[in-house]
Amino acid sequence: MIKPANIIVIGGNAAGPAAAAKARRTNPEAGVIMFEEGEFISTGTCELPYVVSKEISCYKNLVFFTPETFRQEKGVEVFIRHRVEEIDRTGKSILVRSLEENRLLKFNYDKLVLATGSLARRLPWLPAELENVFCLKSVRDLIAIRTYIRDKAVKSVVIFGAGYIGLEMAESFNSLGCSVTLLEKGSLPLPLSEPEVQHLILEELKERGIEFYGGISELRPITEGSRVKAFRIEGLRLEADLVLVAVGFIPNVSLAVKSRLELGRSGAIKVDNRLRTSEQNIYAAGDSIEVLEKVSGKPVYLPLATVAHNSGYIAGENAAGGNSFMKPVIKNIALRVFDISYVSVGLRLEEAVNIGFKAQSVYELAPNLVKVMPGSKKVFGKIVYDSTSYKILGASFLGGKEVTGYGDLISSFIHSGLDVRTLGELYYNYTPPLSPFIHLLSLLGRKAR
C-alpha cells in the first residue's frame, strides 16, 4: 500500500499538469500541489500560431483548465502567479514567492517534480525590450502579438528563424494580409531537415509570396524610438512593423542549477529511466530534461509536447510511489506549411552517418491518389536505413495530410526494429478517393532491396 505523501509539482503547463494529475490518481491519499509562475495553466502551446491566423478563434480555447477546475476534476491544489525560488534538498522544502503579494512562503515536500519547461531562445544583438519584437512561447506572448497587430495595423513582418515556429508563423501572418520576410542562419528553410525537403519548402514559400533570405547570422536593426523600423540586407531595406524571433528553445534549468542538480550534455536536466534527477526525492519531466533517443541510443534535448506529456505522466506516477519507466523516444514531428504537410521521424541521413551508422537512403515521388482522381498530387518520401541490418533509422515525407500516417507507420517500424524491405511486402488499402493504387511506402521498401 502506498503511503500518504506531500507531492509538489513546479510548472503548470504540459508536463506539470500531467504529473500532478497522475500523482493524485496513483496515490489518492497524497496531497498534491502545483505551482505556476504565470497566470495560465494547462495551455496548448503547439496551437498558438493558429490563434494568430484566426483558425482558432480565441486564446481562451487553449486554456484547458483553470486552477479551480483542475482542483475540482483532478484533486490538485494549484497556485498561479507563484514563483518557486529555492529548493532546500536537505530539509525537503521550497521557498515560493507570491508575485501578487511579493512575499515568500515555505512548503514541505516528500517528493518533488520539476516541470519548468523551456524558454524561447533570444538573439543577443536584437534588444528584447523593443516594443515590436516578440517571441511566441506562451499564451501571454500570443495575447501581446494579437494586441499589437490590432492596435498598430501591422502590414510588414520580419521573422528570424525558418524552423517549425518560423514557418508556421509565416503562414499565419501571410493569412492576415501581411508581407512576410523570413531570415535564416542556414542557407535554406527548415535547416534540420533533409536537403530535398528544404528545397521543396523554399519553392512553396516563393509561390506564397514569402521572401526568404538564408545565411543571415546578424543584422543591425534600424530603430525609431522604442521600436524596430527596418533592417538592411544585401542593399535592401526590409520594413518591419513587427519582428518575431523564432530561433528555437532552451531548457529552463535555472532552478535546477541553483539547486545543484546534475545537467546532461545538452544542458537539460539529467534523469534516469524513472525520471529521477541526481537527487533521489526530485523528479523532472518535460522540456527541461534530456531523454534517450532510441535510434542513436544517445541522450538528446527534444522539446516536444508529446514527450512532455508522457514524461510528466511517468514522473508523477513514480513520485507518488509507482514504478513506471521512460522508454527511449523516437522523434516524430509534423508541420504544415500552407497546403503541404511535412513529417520527420528518427534520424536524417547526415545525422545517421555522423553517429557512425553505415547509412543509406532511398527516395521517391509518388501520387497520393490515382492520377485520375481530383486532388491527386505528388508526395515526396525518403527513408534512411542501415545498409547492414536494413533497420530503418529515419524518414521524411512531404505532401498532403496523409504523410502524418506514413510517419506513424515508420515510427512503429523503428520501435519494433523491422526491416525496411518489409515495407515493400505489405498490402496497403486502396480505394480511388482515399489512397493510391501503389503506395509510396511500398515503392521505397522495394528500392531498398
Vertex 44 angle, CA 291 and 173, to 5°:
110
Kindly report the backbone phi and psi dihedral angles of residue 67, in degrees, each rounded to the nearest multiple of 5, phi listed first.
Answer: -55, -35
Spatial contact of 26 and 320, defined as CB atoms under 8 Å apart: yes
Tell me the C-alpha distance between 59 and 143, whole Å: 7
Residue after which a domain boundary falls, among 319, 343, 363: 319
Task: Kindly give the residue spans of alpha helices, DSSP state H, lying in 128-211.
Answer: 139-152, 164-175, 195-207
Please provide the average confidence, as pLDDT, over all residues in the chain: 96
Which range marks the domain in which residue 196 is found? 122-245
User: Is 23 among the domain residues?
Assistant: yes
- What's the pLDDT score for residue 438? 96
In this structure, the answer to whether residues 170 and 187 fall within a common structural domain is yes
Query: Which grid coordinates belong to 79?
Result: 497556485
User: Is 288 among the domain residues?
Assistant: yes
DSSP class of residue 13 equals: S
In this structure, the answer to whether residues 340 and 379 fall within a common structural domain is yes
Which CATH number does the domain housing residue 175 bear? 3.50.50.60
Q: pLDDT digits over 2-15, tens only?
A: 666 899 999 999 99
Tell me the C-alpha distance between 136 and 157, whole Å: 14
In this structure, the answer to whether residues 108 and 130 fall within a common structural domain is no
Residue after which a domain boundary falls, among 290, 319, 348: 319
Residue after which a domain boundary falls, among 222, 245, 268: 245
| N-terminal to C-terminal alpha carbon distance within the chain | 54
Tell me the C-alpha distance between 398 and 193, whole Å: 11
Residue type, 307: V
In this structure, the answer to whether residues 442 and 346 fall within a common structural domain is yes
User: Is 1 among the domain residues?
Assistant: no
In this structure, the answer to whether residues 112 and 132 fall within a common structural domain is no
Report, as an integer, the average pLDDT of 30-50: 97
In angstroms, the Cα distances linking 161 to 81, 179, 238, 299 are: 31, 16, 16, 25
**pTM as predicted:** 0.94
Task: Name the pLDDT band for 234 (thresholds 50, 70, 90).
Answer: confident
Please tell me the total count of domains within the chain.
3
Q: pLDDT digits over 52-89, tens only?
A: 999 999 999 999 999 999 999 999 999 999 999 999 99
- What's the pLDDT score for residue 2? 64
Residues near 236 by beta carbon (within 8 Å), at least 6 away in sequence: none
In this structure, the answer to whether residues 134 and 235 fall within a common structural domain is yes
